[in-house]
A and B are shown apart, each in its own frame.
Chain A
Amino acid sequence: MEQNPRPRTVLETLGEEIIRIVTPVSICMLSVVILVSILNGDPSSGGDLPVTTMATIAYSESSSDSTWDKLKGALLNSLVFVAVVTVVTFLLVLLFYLRCTKFLKYYMGFSAFLVLGFMGGEIALLLIQDFSFPVDCITFAILLFNFTVVGVLAVFMSKMAIFVTQAYLVVIGMLVAYWFTLLPEWTTWVLLVAMALYDLAAVLLPGGPLRLLVELAMSRDEDIPALVYEARPVINDSGPSGGVVRRRVWREGGDTDDNQGLSANTRSGLASDSTPGTHLSVGIGEHERNLADAEEGRVPGGDSELTTPLIQHINVRMNSSENAVPSENLALEGIGLGSSGAIKLGLGDFIFYSVLVGRAAMYDFMTVYACYLAIIAGLGVTLMLLAFYRKALPALPVSIMLGSQDMMNCCQLYDVLLLFWCFLSFSSRHVRQSNQHDYRVGISRWEAYNRVC
């Protein structure tokens, strides 16, 4: 006996963007936890392959060392690792400066190939070994090859179905995170802290490589190739315009407002190049004279709030004289302006959180649960603060830059705090893993990881 359809309240769509980021992060964390508990849970599983990786090149931890030795060794390890990452990032800046964007793109595809093919292949082999799954070499090789190639294409081309791209990004994050959990315990913790601090330094210091990269990209108005997870944009299907889908339109030219917007985006999105730190880029919609909107007869202006209640859509500003030129110089719509202001989260963050939770899975389920909730809470709060900050200061371009900068720093500080909290909760348990596995990983793979993050 309903006279009218149920009125759609704000509860229906509020918070949708946050959920669209929280879900893949949760899936990644869950997969890493499951992998860790399957593959590392059985103490007699696998082999003890003594391996040196980039992260253990300085010191190989063994359970018989004293605490102080372990700490020193872990510090040494992370120092070496951070040094390698710094060098590689500077190399990246140099290449970007020399406009070798194609080379960077290809290298990204290559690193995705390495991660999916080799790391994924090794984990698949471990699983097959564990479950005695009957499959022959040729079938396995064909399947692995197909899987890897589709993954590389998904990362490479922006025309792939968005679900496939998202799925492959989550898989890449999961694989890299799992490999990180194989590091010795102390090295993992100190490495995470070191990467968080390095990230802060690289973005804040005037000579920091990430800052240079962002400024370069800003001045050239280009996008930086990187692996970034982009959530599906929220489509407004209610309201006066009813069912208008925003097209994927590229930004064209720009004036100061949009430049600042781009800088905020690239700066925030770009630091996702390195491991930790929450880097979110959200579109800003200030002065909307969206060509696409005008074509479809939408009402500009306050509509942006209606479409994404929590986070504003980007309203692409176009020069009325030029048409939209889709710029294909990007592997994955990268950083900068995506289509309709969907949230982007760097893959480094996926890996960071999953490593934390994966390490927790080696101890106890309650630690996993508590860490998971803390991470999700922090992520949600960061996203909401970002949205609120955007809304609170829409008109001041400088403060937006500063604001996003502050927000990014807050995100990175949050990462460091989270690390400390997790470390405290772990060290209070003192449950030691009986086997420490060190696996042999080629140096090239670690370079691939550097690019991945």
Chain B
Amino acid sequence: MTVAAGIGYALLALGPSLSLFTAVISHKPFLILTLLSSTLVWLMSLIALSAVWRGFIPFKTAAWWPYALLILTSVASQEALRFFLWRLYKRMEELLDAFADRVSKPRLLITDKMQIALAGGMGHGVAHAVFFCISLLTPAFGPATYYVEKCSRIPFFLVSAMIALAFVTIHTFSMVIAFSGYSEGNRTDQYFAPVVHLAAGVLTLINLGSGGCIIGIPLLYGMAMLTLLHCGKLVWRRLTENRRQGNLY
């Protein structure tokens, strides 16, 4: 595709992340560092998973269940990594609080904690978008574009950009939900992220069928909206609770 179209697809997948970055994350250097390290960690996890599965792909059968197995294992390992990142974050939070005490500044506010979780989630989303969408765009610059048979109405790159956008949203905000759930001990929130991730992954299997992307992608966006709404409700609840408890923020 042309350079203009390529930039368009890249912005489609990463545009909202870019605006979120400029609005929230770029003002606090620590969040930028969190974003960079989170991107690195999730990218390494994706590379590791693809290295493990490289031996089995391409699948010889046309059935859908090997793909389901692939998605299941990948989602499971990524969710394990998310829990491990939560542990790391707890330790870092202790360090930060100790440091704040030492320089007699207030401890981490709840908005700070949620912003750190947001930066971590955005790292996850950016890693996913780059790995699954942007890496397809750069070798494909040129005069023509590419269509897939099973989704023949829109170019392949546009489909992948749209799916990447949905996943970026899901990953960004489910990290906030997950961290909040772990810190409060709320079971719904703790299980929300893995369930939604798995559901979204399985929903992409619908694209394997002919004309499946017409059904699959709107459903995927439904999951993204669900994540957004749940995160919004959660944040609202926690902030109002916090305010009621007497803290101003």
- Is B196's beta carbon under 8 Å from chain A? no
A7, B248: Cα distance in complex, Å? 9
| Chain B residues whose C-beta falls within 8 Å of the C-beta of A380 in the assembled complex | 33, 36-37
Say whether B32 contacts A19, CB under 8 Å: yes
| Chain A residues whose C-beta falls within 8 Å of the C-beta of B105 in the assembled complex | 8-10
- Is A4's beta carbon under 8 Å from chain B? yes
| Chain B residues whose C-beta falls within 8 Å of the C-beta of A9 in the assembled complex | 100, 105-109, 112
Q: Which of A7, A306, A373 has the most CB of B within 10 A?
A: A373
- Is A182's beta carbon under 8 Å from chain B? no
A305, B28: Cα distance in complex, Å? 18
- Given A6-B249, A9-B107, A370-B47, the answer on whether A14 and B131 have CB atoms closer than 8 Å is no
Say whether B112 contacts A373, CB under 8 Å: no
| Chain B residues whose C-beta falls within 8 Å of the C-beta of A370 in the assembled complex | 43, 47
Say whether A369 contacts B112, CB under 8 Å: no
Q: Which chain A residue has the least Cβ–Cβ distance from B126? A: A369
| Chain A residues whose C-beta falls within 8 Å of the C-beta of B137 in the assembled complex | 365
- Is A136's beta carbon under 8 Å from chain B? no
Provide the B37-53 mask, 1 if CB < 8 A to any CB of A, else 0: 10110010001000000
Within 8 A of B (CB), among A21-51: 22
Say whether A373 contacts B39, CB under 8 Å: yes
Say whether B102 contacts A19, CB under 8 Å: no
Among A18, A364, A369, the residue within 8 A (CB) of B33 is: A18
Q: Which chain A residue has the least Cβ–Cβ distance from B249? A: A6
Say whether A369 contacts B100, CB under 8 Å: no
A8, B131: Cα distance in complex, Å? 36
Provide the B10-49 mask, 1 if CB < 8 A to any CB of A, else 0: 0000000000000000001111110011011001000100
Say whether B130 contacts A15, CB under 8 Å: no
A309, B109: Cα distance in complex, Å? 18
- Is A219's beta carbon under 8 Å from chain B? no
- Is A2's beta carbon under 8 Å from chain B? yes
- Is B146's beta carbon under 8 Å from chain A? no
What is the number of contacts between chain A and chain B, taking CB atoms within 8 Å? Answer: 83
- Is A376's beta carbon under 8 Å from chain B? yes
- Is A135's beta carbon under 8 Å from chain B? no
A364, B100: Cα distance in complex, Å? 43
User: Closest Cβ of chain A: how far from B41's Cβ, in Å?
Assistant: 9
User: Closest Cβ of chain A: how far from B176's Cβ, in Å?
Assistant: 16
Say whether B107 contacts A2, CB under 8 Å: no
- Given A14-B30, A370-B43, A373-B36, the answer on whether A305 and B138 have CB atoms closer than 8 Å is no
- Given A364-B139, A365-B138, A377-B36, the answer on whether A7 and B29 have CB atoms closer than 8 Å is no
Provide the A361-376 mask, 1 if CB < 8 A to any CB of B, else 0: 0001110011001101
- Is A142's beta carbon under 8 Å from chain B? no
User: Closest Cβ of chain A: how far from B219's Cβ, in Å?
Assistant: 29
A14, B30: Cα distance in complex, Å? 6
- Is A392's beta carbon under 8 Å from chain B? no
Say whether B40 contacts A14, CB under 8 Å: no
A13, B27: Cα distance in complex, Å? 9
- Is A143's beta carbon under 8 Å from chain B? no
User: Closest Cβ of chain B: how far from A120's Cβ, in Å?
Assistant: 25
Chain B residues near A (Cβ < 8 Å): 28-33, 36-37, 39-40, 43, 47, 96, 99-100, 102-103, 105-109, 112, 115-116, 130-131, 134-135, 137-139, 248-249
Q: A11-B108, A18-B29, A366-B130 are in contact. List 12 more A-B contacts (CB 8 A).
A: A6-B248, A9-B106, A10-B96, A12-B28, A14-B30, A365-B134, A366-B135, A369-B135, A374-B40, A376-B36, A376-B40, A380-B33
Q: Which 7 A-B pairs have the closest CB atoms?
A: A365-B138, A19-B29, A15-B29, A373-B40, A14-B30, A15-B30, A16-B29
Q: List 14 A-B contacts (CB under 8 A).
A: A6-B248, A9-B105, A9-B109, A10-B100, A11-B30, A12-B28, A13-B29, A14-B29, A15-B30, A306-B103, A364-B135, A365-B135, A365-B138, A373-B39
